[in-house]
Homo-oligomer: A and B are copies of this chain.
């Protein structure tokens, strides 16, 4: 068996502590799987005295991640500090500059600086691994970088945020309104005190940015992602979707189109009978459409200390086996520039919910606006009036055939201006899964 691989871990939070415990308690098993012993020799953490359920007395403590990455006698640097800048960025650069392979779970770091770090790794003849940075315990990075390498990807999409999926699942099952559901999720620890990063769709967007690069061999472009969170989703929409044979999920989608690559995160209606629609609670899922395979779907835990540790361990053991791979599948110089497809050019079906005032000609006027924008309708449902406040208005649901985002926005603007609506129109994009 080869000489041990000496590990330095920066950050002993939930994931780091879990990793340290696993390495200590599975010494023999991991040595067999790695082909050599894995030894934790150096760490950093804010609090040295905290009980992390593992004996760290023989391990060297460093004051900060950069010092560890720069000076520790290690063969692999594991960055679990978090954040796109500061200690995380600086320590990863320091480790790569020494030619050390790096394992990180840091989606923000990679979404902002991934290509730059991949270039640095290549110049230094080493590798940066990041299985844990997207979809937690689902091995989607390895699958896309290695397993689907013979394929040409046309679309990658999935449920990448557990908080949103948990909330949408409960809103659907229990008919709870968004605000109440959020309070409950916060109480139970499924949502942060400031939930914006999750429910606003930003977390999913960071993960999508990485998958886009792997899928299409292009540079990362987080800023080009169209993002719409779940805060405006109502139980009325969820119920209406169910009546029509759909469920609403926050999907993150990257798709090759004629004008470029679309990247978008938004509440999405998908067929209720699809496997993806059965993905409930905090579970994540990623689907990839390719030329050779048609579609594959991976479902699993998206977060949590042990699921994330599982992903980090897969990278650690790859590094121990000497696996060396460009971070995004291609040498960074070969990544194509990201060519953005505008959201207004997006093509798809749309769900539209209108609260239509009880007036002669209102519906004819709405139908005309749709026709003017060349939107043809697959179904029209007048729903029962759902509240006391809606006595003078009737909810009308339209499902469009494939049309464009621009046409829908224009039509809805015109309908709003015509003055037949009691409240702002609601719109949810429909994703075709086959």
Q: Which residues of A come within 8 Å of B, CB atoms?
A: 22, 26, 29-30, 32-33, 35, 131, 137-139, 142-143, 146-152, 217, 273-275, 278-279, 290-301, 306-307, 309-310, 312-314, 316-318, 321-326, 329-331, 334
**Selected A-B contacts with CB under 8 Å, 28 pairs:** A22-B150, A22-B292, A26-B152, A32-B330, A32-B334, A33-B330, A35-B326, A139-B143, A139-B296, A142-B143, A146-B318, A148-B314, A150-B313, A151-B310, A273-B278, A275-B299, A290-B310, A291-B306, A292-B306, A292-B309, A293-B310, A294-B307, A295-B300, A296-B299, A297-B300, A298-B299, A322-B324, A323-B323
A298 to chain B, nearest CB (A): 5
A331 with B32: CB separation less than 8 A: yes
B278 with A35: CB separation less than 8 A: no
| Closest 7 A/B residue pairs (Cβ) | A150-B313, A139-B147, A296-B300, A292-B310, A275-B278, A297-B299, A292-B306
Also in contact, A324 and B325, with CB within 8 A (given A275-B299, A314-B149): no
- Give 6 new A-B contacts, CB below 8 A, not counting A139-B148, A292-B313: A131-B147, A150-B310, A275-B275, A296-B301, A299-B299, A323-B323
| Residue of A26, A33, A279, A291 most packed against chain B (CB within 10 A) | A33
Cα-based distance from A322 to B324 in the complex (angstroms): 8
The answer, among B138, B149, B312, B314, for a CB contact under 8 Å with A33, is B149
Residues of B close to A291: CB separation below 8 A: 306
- What residue of chain B has the Cβ atom nearest to residue A288's Cβ? B300
A328 to chain B, nearest CB (A): 11
A307 with B292: CB separation less than 8 A: yes
Residues of B close to A324: CB separation below 8 A: 321-322
A313 with B149: CB separation less than 8 A: yes
Cα-based distance from A301 to B32 in the complex (angstroms): 32
The answer, among B150, B296, B301, B316, for a CB contact under 8 Å with A293, is B301
Residues of B close to A297: CB separation below 8 A: 297-300
Cα-based distance from A26 to B139 in the complex (angstroms): 26
- What residue of chain B has the Cβ atom nearest to residue A144's Cβ? B139
Residues of B close to A326: CB separation below 8 A: 35
Cα-based distance from A147 to B318 in the complex (angstroms): 9
Residues of B close to A146: CB separation below 8 A: 139, 142, 314, 317-318
A249 to chain B, nearest CB (A): 13
Also in contact, A300 and B309, with CB within 8 A (given A131-B147, A275-B278, A317-B149): no
Residues of B close to A26: CB separation below 8 A: 150, 152
Cα-based distance from A296 to B217 in the complex (angstroms): 26
Residues of B close to A217: CB separation below 8 A: 32
- What residue of chain B has the Cβ atom nearest to residue A30's Cβ? B150
A191 to chain B, nearest CB (A): 20
Cα-based distance from A294 to B274 in the complex (angstroms): 22
